[in-house]
Structure 1
């Protein structure tokens, strides 16, 4: 999950590392009835987040904060962490490390950093650097990486770009020239949040008291409240993605649950979205489900299923869903989704999740067909901020890269996973979709954009970023002969500029590591024969990041036929 540190939890500045201590042994499990076999509450996973100011105070000093938590019913877990200061090319300049024992309370570690490398050597080169955190407990490893600026980095030159129309302005989109000579079709950019909860599961807690997940179905605020709140706060769309295993009103399994009530609640949610859309022009309400559990699983959104999916049964053996989907069986779920024409998103992915057999982040052809998005960044799921000031944020780019390297064709999204009643307002991040300018924003056009991967992720709700490859828009797949011209175009909010840009290259199906290809907005080169993907990550002068969707290239071997087509 993204950061789950309750906002009101006291922090401890520069604590001493506790002495080594083995984790407490868990109590013996009682004998379980069949309906209890999979009754395991969610939101009890290890979490690690890095918070560091992008720019330093005078004297190059800044405070680095590391948040660690493992809310596992008070059981103690030993966790180690390592923090590295790296150059943009990955050279390690300084390293910190330590270990803590986590129990019922989150742990905050703070370090005052004076802007120096190892051995007290001053860093004299202005520019963009990176802080990389790796935290581990047992077999679980979490990696977080954020850029930082030292000195006054030179302003990054970006070509002039007239931004596309947006849903907020309701301007008519126009043909947008790209200096490479290509012409983008007419698109409108819509900004929203594709991941949140209401009182249909464990969300909807009012901001005056909300510090975490609610007891399922206990809060006052439901999907219509969420849509109204998001629309009032300037979003173009909101998905309420309710946990599929909480429709029995329980975080475990309710032996007395009535399956008719569970499925009726899901149908009510679908109707709530239909009714809201009929009464509120200019906004798209989306209702769906977040399928799976975190422990030995992984959460994913199913965007367009009319059926409630589940695996839990009551004491009478009745399925508490419309359609049975075995718990944590992702291969079977992908196959069902493909047969039904449903689309999905990997939510806050972790390296040990989404297993097929014993292989995490495993590729299947069905999964590649239906999974269209990977959450690359989330703000805190349990934030109660309503002014976009949330400072706890999680970065999942490294895991999304692993999924791309496995062979998945995924665009990046950036959501908020709101559990409190601040839908879309905890931070300024958004998922942005490109819809043809002559099409309205509705379920049909949004699903078409997701299927085409015409999506970018942004931490700035007013910014835009696009990637083209030989005239093909990000999200496309095509065969290429000869040179390939990649072009990145960016438009920021008033006063914002680009500070750093990286074009990333990978090989689908290789299951290896991506690499950095270039740091300029335009590059022309000839890829090696074979399969490739490319995407761009841009850092603004305020430290906020934007990610394009990838393009996928099948580079042809040089031949007379290739020469003739160029």
Structure 2
């Protein structure tokens, strides 16, 4: 559900704007909040880390966040690792000059890594999974930060949303690493950032070196910028909880982003129009491009140079919106701010709608999923409806939401139009985000016949006819075939790695017979070279059982029939294509152009 925002750029000339009231009493301090020592898999001890970061890294803030599973075990002198880190932080901390903070990194690769601050204890992966960790941070009033989100270490189950965890998961790393700085903020982290925001999370931008060598702060110029009145621990934790941060690959850039008196990290309520202002200063480092990124798209800001400011306005036509700024410098370093959110003050939000299949067929059943989050600390009861343009309701449900609770549901719908609107308590929330096609063709990949790439010409042609093609992975079953009007069955090659999987089993044949009975159609793609005799025989048995009098040659590469389309008594069509026809864009269009009645 993405709706285009109306955007008006006001001006881009320095010195002509209202003062930054949100930042009037604040200063920027630079920190490295994620690093390791020999207390886990790094180098040195916390005292060395803090000293190096202060004296050589020239940082205002340094965090030590050793891996939690090491913290269970004592050091050589018998002392426990986390209390020792707390001791080092207390001794090295000097308000007004340098802040030393101690935390830990919870790691469970596959689910993700999270750094945790401002707690007196720790938990580890042997006693807590991701969701138990969220609960632990909430109960201990901690501060959580999603670390290096992505394929390698995990993306927190695609950032599945948790309203309670959203209160304490305050940051996300958009940059991570102690190597070449211009590679530390990357497209994968940025894509995961946007995904988390779309799913409902309220997260401030961070960038940290994650040091494992004795180079805390000095490894590169990757920093988390933090806005505070003065350099104290109290102010730091307050700023991190408020998401008053930005991620930067430049050590001393200054960037300010505000809207209607709120600063980056803040939430605005009940506004249908917001004027935003951005100020940038980094003498000697000119920019390549600056963008305002929001849920509906990207706006390029008409600015240049190393010192500039600009304003732009957005008309807000949805109950939940976010906007952040991304700047790329000429030297490829990047700066990304925390967002400003614009929300409905009822604090009940509809997130993460989807349909299955992704593109529906009119008047055919499909699954529709949605989540409704209650960000209030009191119970809420709401009415959720799905209506067409005439106000006719196709779905209604009264839902009671627990405090900081989340309701999830997948329902089956059958609708005559994709033009549907979602309503909460009688007020339009947004469109249902449905896309429509004329038919759906599933491509079997479960019989040693994984040819998705090779069959792209066939898929593209079917899509040009108004259809959609979807891969069917894993064993076939009635649920997978329920939305398919056509089933594409490539014959397996003779050198199949697992020959027994290439054969249609009695279960497969029974499933296909049921599919034919309800009017399903087939496209069989013949083998490129000789197919497995057992696989060919199993297909022939199926053809006989459904009354299709087709004659495959003995190697499964051609038909001996003059026709390539057969129709059963129940009206199911069987179309046979040679490998060359299905994989050649020119030949597939030639073969199928006279068969429009089939689709």
TM-score (norm 2): 0.51
Superposed CA RMSD: 2.7
Contact 1:528 1:555 in 2 (8 A): no
Please point out which of 376, 388, 398 is paired with 2:174: 376
Deviation at 1:260, TM superposition (A): 12
Residue 363 (structure 1) aligns with: 161
Q: 1:416 to 1:258 in 2, by over 3 A?
A: closer
Q: Is this contact kept in 2: 1:263–1:308, CA < 8 A?
A: no
- Relative to structure 1, is the Cα distance of residues 285 and 364 closer, same or farther in structure 2, using a 3 angstrom cutoff? same
Shift of 1:299: 0.8
Quickly say closer, same or farther: Cα 1:550–1:289, change in 2 above 3 A. Answer: same
1:414 — aligned with what?
A: 207
Distance 1:263 1:297 in 2: 30
1:114-147 deviation line (CA, Å, top 9, x unaligned): xxxxxxxxxxxxxxxxxxxxxxxxxxxxxxxxxx
Q: Is the 8 A contact 1:247 1:262 kept in 2?
A: no
> 1:194·1:238 contact (CA, 8 Å) conserved in 2?
yes
**1:199–1:556 distance in 2 versus 1, CA, 3 Å:** closer
Equivalent in 320, 337, 343 of residue 548 of structure 1: 337
The aligned counterpart of 2:71 is 247
Q: Is the 8 A contact 1:158 1:490 kept in 2?
A: no
> Displacement of 1:159 after TM fit?
4.2
Query: Where does the alignment leave 5 or more consecutive residues of structure 2 unmatched?
Result: 1-10, 303-309, 347-599
Shift of 1:517: 3.5
Q: TM-score, normalised by structure 1?
A: 0.54
Change (3 A) 1:178 1:304: farther
Residue 37 of structure 2 corresponds to residue 198 of structure 1:
yes
Which residue, out of 82, 85, 102, partners 1:266?
82
Query: SS of the residue aligned with 1:539?
Result: strand
- Contact 2:249–2:334, Cα closer than 8 Å, also in 1: yes
Give the Cα separation in 2 of the matches to 1:226 and 1:353. 25
Structure 2 equivalent of residue 226 of structure 1: 49
Structure 1 residue matching 2:93: 3-state secondary structure = helix
1:498 to 287, 307, 311: 287
- Following TM superposition, by how much is the alpha carbon of 1:191 offset from its aligned partner in structure 2, in angstroms? 0.3
- CA-to-aligned-CA distance 1:21-76 (integer Å, 9 cap, x gap): xxxxxxxxxxxxxxxxxxxxxxxxxxxxxxxxxxxxxxxxxxxxxxxxxxxxxxxx
- Give me the whole-angstrom Cα distance separating, in 2, the residues matched to 1:258 and 1:236: 30
The unaligned stretches of length 5 or more in structure 1 are 1-156, 162-176, 205-220, 249-256, 313-324, 384-388, 507-513, 558-566
Aligned to 1:37: none
1:419 to partner: Cα distance: 0.4
Q: Does residue 1:291 correspond to 2:106, yes or no?
A: yes
For 2:68 and 2:293, the matched residues in 1 are separated by 35
Q: How does 1:325-336 map to 2 (within 5 A)?
A: 325-326=127-128, 329-336=129-136
Deviation string, structure 1 residues 368-411 (Cα, Å, up to 9, x no partner)? 0111111001234xx4xxxxx65653521111111111111001
Partner of residue 24, structure 1: none
Does 2:23 match 1:184?
yes
Aligned partners of 1:333 and 1:262: how far apart in 2?
A: 27
- In structure 1, C-alpha distance between the alignment counterparts of 2:78 and 2:195, rounded to whole Å: 36
CA gap 1:258/1:545 in 2 versus in 1, 3 angstroms: closer
SS in structure 1 at match of 2:104: strand
Q: CA deviation at 1:498?
A: 2.5
Q: Deviations over 1:474-502 (max 9, x none)?
A: 1111213332111111111x222222111
Superposed, 1:132-531 pairs within 5 Å as 159-160=13-14, 178-179=17-18, 182=21, 184-204=23-43, 221-233=44-56, 234-247=58-71, 264-277=80-93, 282-294=97-109, 296-312=110-126, 325-326=127-128, 329-350=129-150, 359-380=157-178, 383=179, 393-395=184-186, 396-436=189-229, 440-492=230-282, 494-506=283-295, 515-520=297-302, 521-531=310-320
Greater length-normalized contact order (CA 8 Å, ≥ 6 residues apart): 1
More helix by share: 2
Q: 1:200 to 1:366 in 2, by over 3 A?
A: same
